[in-house]
Structure 1
Amino acid sequence: MRTKQQLTEDIRRERRAVLVVNARSRRGRQLYADAHARLVAAGFELLGAYAVERDLEKSLADAIAQEPDLLVAGGGDGTISTAGRMLAHRDIALGLLPLGTTNNFARTVGIQPSLDKAVATLVDGAVIDVDLGVAGDMPFTNHVGAGLSAEVMINAPSRLKRVIGRLAYPITALGLLTRHRPLRVTVRADGVEQVFLTHQVYVANGGFHAGRPITADAHADDRLLVAYPVGGATRRELLRETARNALTGHRRTLHERPFLAVGELWLETDRPAHVEVDGEPCGRTPLRIALDANALRIMAPPGTPDH
């Protein structure tokens, strides 16, 4: 493995890259050609370029086989999470083109959903190491959700997401909420057990959810997972806490209730609950969630903290 500085220098000097864009993501289809042209104009030698309609993992595997210094992945959080999982502990940096609905992981590492700014990061940025979470045996970049969010991910229509973006999720959630029963959730970590009734629980590796900050001090390179319920047993509490999180997350800290910041935890529910990992359905509870520290190399904007 090269050092981060060596890999950064090689990317800047050689410009050897592969482009993989999920053409099913909200903006992927229309921006693939634009992204391709911008990378070429920036001097990148594209060893391969893939506009993926299906079988993302195969395209990513083909891209990795080209042995680039930089794999540029365009799409939403599910695409980025898949690319991150496949690049874990490899001597290849992940470049992000945030083309999805919420772009949580890109926001966590300071990349705004602008193609111009994302390409500028690939040109002028530097390689840093960030943590991955591991849900069961599934690595992830941003978060695990159990309860209503997983039901939403399973049921939210793809066409609706393309048309109205992130609003597709609350609209779908409101339709499901009328018949969703709260869960009795048990979180075990560091010898402590916490139990609460809620419709929704998250475990975050990154610092953003639904395009908004979780807290002011959560990020993807702090060796911490952040577990937290959203509201209590009533639907009103869920809606109120969801709104509060969206409006005040940038002012809250990991030391406040109900956040639990740990390196590893065990998540149980009183009945098997669907789980989503970075927006993709991924089994059911119970589930062990842990950290894989400094597992992923990414191209980040200049000055991004790297611990």
Structure 2
Amino acid sequence: MLKRMLIIYNPVAGQRKFHKLMPVAEQILEDAGFDVTLIPTTEQVKSATKIAKQGVLDGFEIIVAAGGDGTVNDVINGLMQAPSQPSFGVLPVGTTNDFARALGMAKDPIEALHIIASGKAVKVDVGRANDEYFINNAAGGKITEITYAVKESMKNKIGRLAYLVSGIKLLPKLAPKQVKITHDNGVFEGKILLLFATLTNSVGGMEKLCPPAILNDGYMDLLILKKVSPAKLLKLLAAIKNGSHLQSQDVVYVRTKQAQIECDTSLNISYDGVYGGETPYKLEVLPEKLVILADVTRIQHRLQK
């Protein structure tokens, strides 16, 4: 009996990349023994979340998100809101594809389709941020706004450069925030520029932001950047290339299963690049909550031994 697969795709992601691939994708997956249904997202807020949740109720055994990190996050939230979770797949056809990078998915969508078709899978952690879910990271601070403020039209026009352009515009507006962050190892209180609570090593296209991160160890890696001068900030950003930023006295790095974030004014939080509201925020890890299709040989070093 054919396995039922639902592909939820963003029709405008990555310069409409999946739309061009659709006939090939269907053929590859049907040849591999899947009964494939394709449903596009719409401009309605969280349309992919609703489609994914209904897909679970309709009995699909595998649900695939074809798009960028925003599409992946919306689908994850739909799966986690459902009474049970089918296997999940990621087809990276967005602009940055952070989670797909962390998962070791091939950059070439055709190769990624073959990985999905193989049926090999691994269990990974899922994060919860208040009542929402994330699969890659939660972040706070002014500079993180570029992940959800960049327009789709701009990303389609200049690709990942859209984030760089927006980031340069935001630099003069960076202002430290007084926060209190409670985690398993204690409490941090002070002024910060930004923070990341990440489940993977890949954030904003940077695969060395958190090299120690493991996909299924039940922990999030919490990085807190203290208040620093613009010059020191640029040095720290440069240090990310080799991972030496984690040793800086201006960076707090801890592994924790939960974190509570409070701010004296307001601090915007995003998860997987999607706007998530303002503090206070409670973050926690749900260990090995989701089965994800992946080539395990590519990510052995990112899995708990």
Q: Please indicate the TM-score interval, normalised by the length of the shorter structure.
A: 0.7 to 0.9
Equivalent residue, structure 2, for 1:243: 238
Deviation readout 1:122-148 (Å, 9 max, x if unpaired): 122422211111111211101111112
Distance 1:260 1:150, change over 3 A: same
The alignment status of 1:117 with 2:105, answered yes or no, reads no
2:197 and 2:187 map into 1 onto residues whose CA distance is 15
Deviation at 1:232, TM superposition (A): 3.1
Please show how residues 111-150 of structure 1 align to structure 2 within 5 Å: 111-150=105-144
Distance 1:136 1:34, change over 3 A: same
Deviation at 1:288, TM superposition (A): 1.0
2:247 and 2:78 map into 1 onto residues whose CA distance is 29
TM-score (norm 1): 0.85
2:29 and 2:218 map into 1 onto residues whose CA distance is 33
Which amino acid is the alignment partner of residue 25 of structure 2?
Answer: A
Of 208, 223, 232 in structure 1, the residue corresponding to residue 227 of structure 2 is: 232
Of 43, 53, 65 in structure 1, the residue corresponding to residue 33 of structure 2 is: 43
Equivalent residue, structure 2, for 1:178: 172
| Contact 2:52-2:79 at 8 Å conserved across structures | no
The alignment status of 1:220 with 2:212, answered yes or no, reads no
The alignment status of 1:106 with 2:100, answered yes or no, reads yes
1:205 and 1:43 map into 2 onto residues whose CA distance is 32
1:269 and 1:125 map into 2 onto residues whose CA distance is 44
Identity rate, percent:
23
SS at match of 2:50: helix
CA RMSD, aligned part only?
2.5
Deviation readout 1:120-179 (Å, 9 max, x if unpaired): 211224222111111112111011111124432343222111122222112112112212
The alignment status of 1:169 with 2:157, answered yes or no, reads no
2:135 and 2:23 map into 1 onto residues whose CA distance is 26
The alignment status of 1:15 with 2:15, answered yes or no, reads no
Deviation at 1:33, TM superposition (A): 4.2
Please show how residues 248-259 of structure 1 align to structure 2 within 5 Å: 248-249=242-243, 258-259=252-253
SS at match of 2:156: helix
Matched residue count:
292
1:72 and 1:33 map into 2 onto residues whose CA distance is 16
TM-score (norm 2): 0.86
2:237 and 2:119 map into 1 onto residues whose CA distance is 34
Distance 1:198 1:236, change over 3 A: farther
Which runs of no fewer than 5 residues in structure 2 stay unpaired? none
Which amino acid is the alignment partner of residue 109 of structure 1?
Answer: L
Deviation readout 1:90-142 (Å, 9 max, x if unpaired): 24100110111221111222213221221121122422211111111211101
Which amino acid is the alignment partner of residue 137 of structure 1?
Answer: D
Which runs of no fewer than 5 residues in structure 1 stay unpaired? 1-12
Distance 1:184 1:91, change over 3 A: closer
2:247 and 2:114 map into 1 onto residues whose CA distance is 32
2:140 and 2:264 map into 1 onto residues whose CA distance is 12
